[in-house]
Structure 1
Amino acid sequence: MALTNPWLSGPAPTTKLLHDRLSERILNLLSSQNMCVLATAGPDGPLATPVRYYHLDFEVMFTASPRSPKMRNLAADPRVSVGIFAPLVGQASSRGAQLFGRAQILTPDSNEFANYWEAFRWQSDHVERGNSLAEPPLGPLVVVTPNRIVYTEHWLRREGYAPRQFWHPKPTDTTTI
C-alpha cells in the first residue's frame, strides 16, 4: 500500500523539543491564527465559546460583552482552557495548542490595561461596524495567562520528535507586564 506520509505510521517518537524551539513553534501558531475556543465552567456546566483573539507573547486576549455567559463564568471562576488550531487537511497538517491558565478581566482603569491594549487590534472591528476610530471601545479586555500549554504537531514526527509536547514557563520567564 502506498503511504502519502510514511513517517506517520508506526509508534510515535517520544523525544522532547528544547524549550526554546517549542516556544517558537507555539508562538508561530498563535501568530498565524486568530480564532480560539474558550472553555469556562459555570453554574450550568461547561461552556465552550469561539472567540477571536490577539496575543502578546504566550498570553491571549479578547473582548466580550460584560453580560455574556462567558464573562459571568470568568467572574466566578477564572480557570480556563483555550484551544487554538490550524485548519486540518490530514494527519500531517494536524497542529494545535491547548492553553491552561487563568483569565484576568481588565478594565480601562486597571493598571495593566494600557500595556495589553496597545497589542489589541480593535480598529478592524470598529471599521467593520461603522464606528469611529476616534472612539476606542471601553469594554473589558480579557487576558489569559497560560501556566501550561499542550502543543500538538504531527509534522514533528518527521523530525523524530513526539507529536505532543508540553510547555511550561521557564522559572525566569515573566509575563508581558
Structure 2
Amino acid sequence: MPLTNPWLTEPMPAGRLPRERLEERILNLLSSQNMCVLATTGPDGPLATPVRYYPLGFTVMFTAAPRSPKVRNLEADPRVSAGIFAPLTGLASSRGAQLFGQARVLPPGHPDRERHWEAFRWENEHVERGRPLTEPPADTLIVVEATRIVYTEHWLRREGFAARQFWKP
C-alpha cells in the first residue's frame, strides 16, 4: 500500500534543529495561535484551564479574574505549564509546544504591566465585554516567561530532524 508520507515511518530521526530555526518555528506557533491550556497546581490537585493568550517573544500573557481558581493556584505556586497547539488533521500536521515557566500575577498599578500591555490586544476583550475603548484596561494580567519549551512538529522528520525539539533561553 503506498504511503502518503513515507518519512513518518521508522526509524525516527534524531537530528537537532539549529537554534535560529527552532526559535523561528516556536515564535510562528505562538503568534499563529491564541489558545492554550494552562496547567497549575492547587490544594485540590492539578487544574488545566483553557485560556486565550497573547504572545510577546517567548512570553505568553492573559487576563484573569483575581479570585479565579487559577489565580489562587498561581499565588500559591507560580510554576506552570502551557500547552499550545495547531489544529491537527493527521500525524504529519502535528505541531505544538509545552511551555514551562513561572507565572507572574500583575494587578492594576504594578510597574511591569505597561510594557506587557503594549503587546496585549486588550481592545478585543473590551469590545466583547462592552467596555469603551477610551477606558484603559484594569484587569489582572498574568505573564509567563518561558524557562523551557518542548516543541513538537512531525513535519521536521522530512528533513532528518527529531519531531521533538528542546529550547531554553
State the TM-score, normalized to the length of structure 1. Answer: 0.94
Q: Percent identity?
A: 71
Q: CA separation in 1, counterparts of 2:99 and 2:132?
A: 34
What residue identity is the alignment partner of 2:155? W
Q: Kindly indicate whether the alpha-carbon contact (under 8 Å) linking 1:59 and 1:144 is maintained by their aligned counterparts in 2.
A: yes
Question: How far does residue 18 in structure 1 lie from its aligned partner after superposition?
Answer: 1.1
Question: How far does residue 13 in structure 1 lie from its aligned partner after superposition?
Answer: 0.4
Q: Which residue of 2 aligns with 1:75?
A: 75
Q: Which residue of 2 aligns with 1:47?
A: 47
Question: How far does residue 68 in structure 1 lie from its aligned partner after superposition?
Answer: 0.5
> How big is each residue's C-alpha offset from its partner over 1:27-64, in whole Å with a ceiling of 9 and x where there is no partner?
00000000000000000000000000001000000000
Q: Kindly indicate whether the alpha-carbon contact (under 8 Å) linking 1:33 and 1:85 is maintained by their aligned counterparts in 2.
A: yes
The alignment partner of 2:119 has SS state of coil
What residue identity is the alignment partner of 1:145? E
Answer yes or no: is 1:88 the counterpart of 2:88: yes
Question: How far does residue 76 in structure 1 lie from its aligned partner after superposition?
Answer: 0.2
What residue identity is the alignment partner of 1:61? M
Question: Where does structure 2 lack aligned partners over 5 or more consecutive residues?
Answer: none
What residue identity is the alignment partner of 1:29? L
Question: How far does residue 107 in structure 1 lie from its aligned partner after superposition?
Answer: 2.1
Q: Which residue of 1 aligns with 2:101?
A: 101
Q: Which residue of 2 aligns with 1:173?
A: none
Question: Where does structure 1 lack aligned partners over 5 or more consecutive residues?
Answer: 170-177
Q: CA separation in 1, counterparts of 2:136 and 2:75?
A: 24
Q: CA separation in 1, counterparts of 2:108 and 2:155?
A: 42
What residue identity is the alignment partner of 1:88? L
Count of aligned pairs? 169
Answer yes or no: is 1:15 the counterpart of 2:15: yes
Q: Kindly indicate whether the alpha-carbon contact (under 8 Å) linking 1:108 and 1:114 is maintained by their aligned counterparts in 2.
A: no
| Residue range with higher mean Cα deviation, 35-44 or 132-141 | 132-141
> How big is each residue's C-alpha offset from its partner over 1:54-107, in whole Å with a ceiling of 9 and x where there is no partner?
010000000000010000000000000000000000000000000011000112
Counterpart mapping for 1:24-63 below 5 A: 24-63=24-63
Q: CA separation in 2, counterparts of 1:121 and 1:19?
A: 29
| Residue range with higher mean Cα deviation, 110-119 or 91-100 | 110-119
Q: Kindly indicate whether the alpha-carbon contact (under 8 Å) linking 1:16 and 1:162 is maintained by their aligned counterparts in 2.
A: yes
